A and B are shown apart, each in its own frame.
Chain A
Amino acid sequence: MEKMTIIQAALCGVVYWLAVGNLPFVGLWSLQRPLVCGMITGLILGHPVQGAVIGATINLVYLGFMSAGGSMPADMGLAGVLGTAYAIVGGLDTDTALALAVPIGILGTIVWAGRMTFDCFFVHIADKYIEKEEYNKIWRANVLFPQIMCFCMTAIPCALAAYFGSNYIQGILNVLSGKVLTVFQIIGGLMPALGIAITLQYIFKGESKVFLFAGFLLAVYSKLPLLTLGIIAFLVAVVYVQVTSAATPVAADYDDEDDEEDD
């Protein structure tokens, strides 16, 4: 079993801050995804490949999670960083790591709500800068101050949780054996259904419904990798859209010809 050093724990904290602090913003689309932050956490702990694989598994739950209108249903950044760190240090298998990461992700939403609330304070600093016509100082209110606060709210607790949590994980592991471990693995195996179902809420509509089952059967019996399946799905979508949107003009042409014949 490995041990986490203080520096490694601090770096985990920094990764979480960058992932959730949205600095730069595209971190929300990239580093916040457990696939990416799991790989970086693995890199910090000296096992990038293992980190990527664990992160990828955790990410299955958060496939279609949406942060819209300022809401954050689950903190996948914290789940990705801590879930991966605990799994690598404790030598957990990927499904157990996933079952462990999900409650961590729920805990993380507190950080997001706290930040969204306290950030209101800085907007009024920006209002004051405008009142004094010091427009070149607005960046401080928009980036500098809130990010210092965000760092304290995210990096420090995450680093502490990574450092102390991974020392306890050994003890937890001893409890996690036999039936208890099986239960954890079953939960981890079922959890991706949530990520897929959330995505389906946005796309499983009308004409597209039947294609879920087409994709399912194709995957069951062909055993194709998802990349190939994705390319096939793309082509099917293109063909379907072309055929259905061509249907109306074709029918019109047919009517015209009919008329000519009548003449």
Chain B
Amino acid sequence: MENKKKSLIPKAALIKAWLIWETFPQTCYNYERMMGQVCAHMFSAIIGFLYKDNPSKRKEVMKREIEFFNVHIEFGSCILGMAIALEEQKAMGEEIPGEFITNLKTSLMGPLAGMGDTIWQGVVIPILLAVCIDMTRSGSGNVWGAIIYAVVIVVAAYALSYWNFMFGYKAGSEAIMDFLEKGILNKLIKGASIMGCMVMGGLVVNYVKATCGLKIVSSTSTYNVQESFLDAVCPSILPLAMTMLVYYLLNKRRWSSLKVIGLIVVIGIVGGVTGILAY
């Protein structure tokens, strides 16, 4: 197997490099290079094994690796593994131009960041949070939801990042491209979206609160709009309408979340003062 080729970097140093990547990628997050510096920090753990008697080559590697870089930490860790593998092969004498490594890194970071942010921050975290928030608020309240959430997400982040880093190191760039083009990913996203949508539907019912306070009083009886009309149509219809309105404004009208917060405040004040909305 080609994968069994001899390597210059011992496993322990590789693990140390990965730990630096997963632990310190945003300790110095900045607008100029984004995560460029952590690549250099990570390479400082393994540079001693490359170009043992050629300091100027080492400096070349470090200068190349501190350039602009930005990706989703866990989903993009395969790029770092791949970059290490390429620098290692180059140090062993293979003809790999330096620009090739930089270009490969920058061309992969876009798709992996997009995919990672969508799956991780758009699906995994919201679903896990929704379930754990519900757990925390059930009964008279408890701390378990918060603890379970923190433990699960930290373990998942480290596990995914490690596996992905080693995958990138061993399998290289073609395998990453291959994976990106495969249908498995689309199925995964489709399934995750379906699950996410169902959970969000449940969340609307449980946590968005909007109640109509209007009461039509006649000489003989009082007509409570919320109880007699809205609840008869479908309970929680107002929270659903509110959520869909916000979604429409964000998605179709391209409102910023700040603007939406402003609108909610206005609706709250107007609705509360006039009595259209009740608590």
- Are A186 and B28 interface neighbours, CB within 8 A? no
- Are B126 and A216 interface neighbours, CB within 8 A? no
- CA of A33 to CA of B123 in the docked complex: distance in angstroms? 15
The 8 Å CB contact of A35, one of B55, B129, B278, is B129
The 8 Å CB contact of B136, one of A30, A56, A199, A216, is A56
Interface residue B205 (Cβ < 8 Å from any Cβ of A): yes
- CA of A164 to CA of B22 in the docked complex: distance in angstroms? 36
The 8 Å CB contact of B32, one of A25, A60, A120, is A120
- Are B269 and A202 interface neighbours, CB within 8 A? no
- Are A233 and B199 interface neighbours, CB within 8 A? yes
- Are B197 and A24 interface neighbours, CB within 8 A? no
Interface residue B1 (Cβ < 8 Å from any Cβ of A): no
- CA of A147 to CA of B27 in the docked complex: distance in angstroms? 7
Report B18-31 CB contacts with A as 1/0, cut-off 8 Å.
00001111111111
- CA of A83 to CA of B146 in the docked complex: distance in angstroms? 16
The 8 Å CB contact of A56, one of B31, B146, B204, B246, is B146
Chain A contact residues, majority secondary structure: helix
Interface residue B141 (Cβ < 8 Å from any Cβ of A): yes
Stretch from B84-92, B149-157, B169-177 at the A interface: B149-157
Interface residue A44 (Cβ < 8 Å from any Cβ of B): no
- Are A200 and B24 interface neighbours, CB within 8 A? no
The 8 Å CB contact of A240, one of B43, B191, B247, B261, is B191
Interface residue A185 (Cβ < 8 Å from any Cβ of B): yes
Given contacts A218-B202, A237-B195, contact A29 B190 (CB under 8 A): no
Chain B contact residues, majority secondary structure: helix
- CA of A164 to CA of B266 in the docked complex: distance in angstroms? 29
List chain A residues, Cβ under 8 A from B130. 63, 226, 230
Report B257-269 CB contacts with A as 1/0, cut-off 8 Å.
1101100110111
- Are B33 and A225 interface neighbours, CB within 8 A? no
Stretch from A155-163, A167-175, A205-213 at the B interface: A205-213
- Are A189 and B27 interface neighbours, CB within 8 A? no
Given contacts A22-B27, A53-B136, A203-B192, contact A64 B264 (CB under 8 A): no
Interface residue B47 (Cβ < 8 Å from any Cβ of A): yes
- Are A138 and B41 interface neighbours, CB within 8 A? yes
Interface residue B34 (Cβ < 8 Å from any Cβ of A): yes
- CA of A189 to CA of B206 in the docked complex: distance in angstroms? 11
List chain B residues, Cβ under 8 A from A110. none
Interface residue B234 (Cβ < 8 Å from any Cβ of A): yes
- CA of A26 to CA of B135 in the docked complex: distance in angstroms? 22
The 8 Å CB contact of B37, one of A126, A188, A201, is A126
- Are A49 and B31 interface neighbours, CB within 8 A? no
Interface residue A116 (Cβ < 8 Å from any Cβ of B): yes
Give me 7 A-to-B residue pairs in the complex whose CB atoms sit less than 8 angstroms apart, sorted by A's number.
Answer: A24-B22, A63-B130, A123-B28, A130-B40, A186-B272, A204-B247, A220-B235
Given A187-B268, A233-B198, 6 new contacts (CB under 8 A): A52-B146, A186-B271, A194-B257, A205-B193, A208-B190, A215-B199
| B interface residues (Cβ-Cβ under 8 A, vs A) | 22-34, 36-38, 40-41, 43-44, 47, 55, 58-59, 62-63, 66, 70, 73, 113, 117-118, 121-123, 125-127, 129-138, 140-143, 145-147, 149-150, 153-154, 157-158, 187, 190-210, 234-236, 239-240, 242-247, 250-251, 257-258, 260-261, 264-265, 267-269, 271-273, 277-279
| A interface residues (Cβ-Cβ under 8 A, vs B) | 21-26, 28-31, 33, 35-36, 38-39, 48-50, 52-53, 55-57, 59-60, 63-70, 73-74, 95, 99, 102, 106, 115-120, 122-123, 126-127, 130-131, 133, 135-136, 138-139, 141-143, 145-147, 150, 179, 182-194, 196-205, 207-209, 211-220, 224-227, 229-230, 232-234, 236-238, 240-241, 244-245
